Structure 1
């Protein structure tokens, strides 16, 4: 018996119009919430009910052509590497953008060249691009996106980027804040965790550099420590700890810090007597550890403020300045 290869035809606005007993133009006015066209409440309800019954979904590309622009806000997928704190903040940003009529999409491509990345983003013709890893953004990439019609370019970066609405986010300050605290507590031989998970190196390296810049001004040393986010890797480092001669560690973030804390305790290494630990992000789990983790809190601008800035850039080409991300030490028992 031959296999049925028939593919069902997709539902169109004409099908919705036929079921609702209205014109396709009326369906378009209702589903696109077109301003300036009056549609009675009864007609609107019939169109929405018909669309729901048929499972009709508007075509985003066609809608963008009619509107003259896209409603997509593209976010490079490198945001997945920045930790739970920022990931939760990004979830809030998605909600705020949705409230303003935008759809946030993640772009999973990985590119060595910023211009290649910009070219791939431009192919989707987004209304805006929001880059949390903005230090890789360049003026050339921004120019390419602008020429492609992308109106809103916003990036979190250590330094201003020409053609991009830049919000200060200097990861060297995170490492420097941790090192300053540890040295002030009398620690002079500081290890800095370098996570082995994919994508974290671009953030870990400037944090290491920040710690090194502080140590260079004091009788202190900094040693990079490779660590994977696994129990086995943490226990291996804990077992080698006595031979390393270190008295403190900045553990990249709270999750790695908690992992190391438990590994040290399993090996009989006392915290903070033998080794002081500092994490980052001030997650809920940091205060719940025994002893409670010292951490660096990142004071981020609100997701609502960033969404408003994106909207202003798309609508007018400019936006009000947004305060930089600040690194604030939260001292607890592990240091």
Structure 2
């Protein structure tokens, strides 16, 4: 029997069944990893080998129709702009969900209207939606998705979202923790870095608000300072630092903090002598700076825990409440 089909024809599960010498039902059981199906290890390997030799790939939409639901978990792609911490966490989540039979999809669309975003997400008919920037998630958003058959909706948000499993996480806490520390160390005029990169305002603005709330209680001043993640922009900012009159800065996250730290030192500005610098995320690079970066650590739940909660929401429609995500200051040499 030939090991391949003509290039002009799409390979089907029937081709795999013929090459493996089994029924199409057995091919379906093996390739869909059907729970409870009695297929011997030898038969399973024969089917997988035939699929590899033929280059057969299961049809996701057809599989969803047979199963009665999708296996897609959609994550709005704005998380990709959040930095290394979020990227690594999403990688871990992808692996945890994959082990449970789900496929993670990042949706790259950017929408000003949450309802428009929900309609675009719903077109893919995901089984679940996970929003890290859940403060833009609304009750109408949740309703659109529920009507489209989305079985699980999980959002990280400062306040509960009706119709959505919400994990409490307020970005204002990061700005508040950073500025509390800067004020306690004697700083009174504090800059808050606002990244120019598209997609980060949703996270930067509440961090600025949290910083401002703390400053208002202590008679300190908070000044928003725009910065692009580029050496040239950081160097230009450092050259005019004296004009700003700032003695402390919360630099949005550790990546922007490290960039600014090097630019300030390049201009001969002493850190923390003249300017105290605080980052966020507690990345490995924070401890490698000179001086090491003081940072605000986010105690994120494990990706495995979130994958388990999503699966529970998909299967039963509910899950035990999750603890609030807390932040804590990690004090090092920069502030």
For the criterion TM > 0.5, the same-fold answer is: yes
Gaps of 5+ in 1: 1-5
- Aligned-residue CA RMSD (Å): 1.2
Question: What secondary structure, in the 3-state scheme, does the structure 1 residue paired with 2:149 have?
Answer: coil
CA distance in 1, matches of 2:152, 2:53: 37
Q: After TM superposition, give the deviation of residue 38 of structure 1 in Å.
A: 2.4
Aligned to 1:136: 136
Runs of 4+ displaced beyond 4 Å: none
CA distance in 1, matches of 2:121, 2:194: 30
Q: Which moved more, 1:310-319 or 1:232-241?
A: 232-241
Question: What secondary structure, in the 3-state scheme, does the structure 2 residue paired with 1:279 have?
Answer: strand
Aligned to 2:284: 284
CA distance in 1, matches of 2:318, 2:251: 38
Gaps of 5+ in 2: 1-5
CA distance in 2, matches of 1:275, 1:158: 31
Aligned to 1:121: 121
Aligned to 1:267: 267
Question: Per-residue CA shift, 1:130-187, capped at 9, x if unaligned?
Answer: 0001011110110111111111000000110000000011001100110100000010
CA distance in 2, matches of 1:7, 1:286: 53
Q: Does 1:68 align with 2:64?
A: no
**Matching of residues 1-335 of structure 1 within 5 Å:** 8-335=8-335
CA distance in 2, matches of 1:207, 1:82: 13
Q: TM-score, normalised by structure 1?
A: 0.96
- Count residues with an aligned counterpart: 330
Question: Per-residue CA shift, 1:280-313, capped at 9, x if unaligned?
Answer: 0111111111111110001001111100100000
Q: After TM superposition, give the deviation of residue 219 of structure 1 in Å.
A: 1.8
Q: Which moved more, 1:319-328 or 1:27-36?
A: 27-36
Q: After TM superposition, give the deviation of residue 205 of structure 1 in Å.
A: 0.7
- CA change 1:182–1:7 in 2 (3 A) is same
Q: After TM superposition, give the deviation of residue 42 of structure 1 in Å.
A: 3.2
Residue pair 1:301, 1:324 contacting (<8 A) in 2 also:
no
Question: What secondary structure, in the 3-state scheme, does the structure 2 residue paired with 1:216 have?
Answer: helix
Question: What secondary structure, in the 3-state scheme, does the structure 2 residue paired with 1:11 have?
Answer: coil
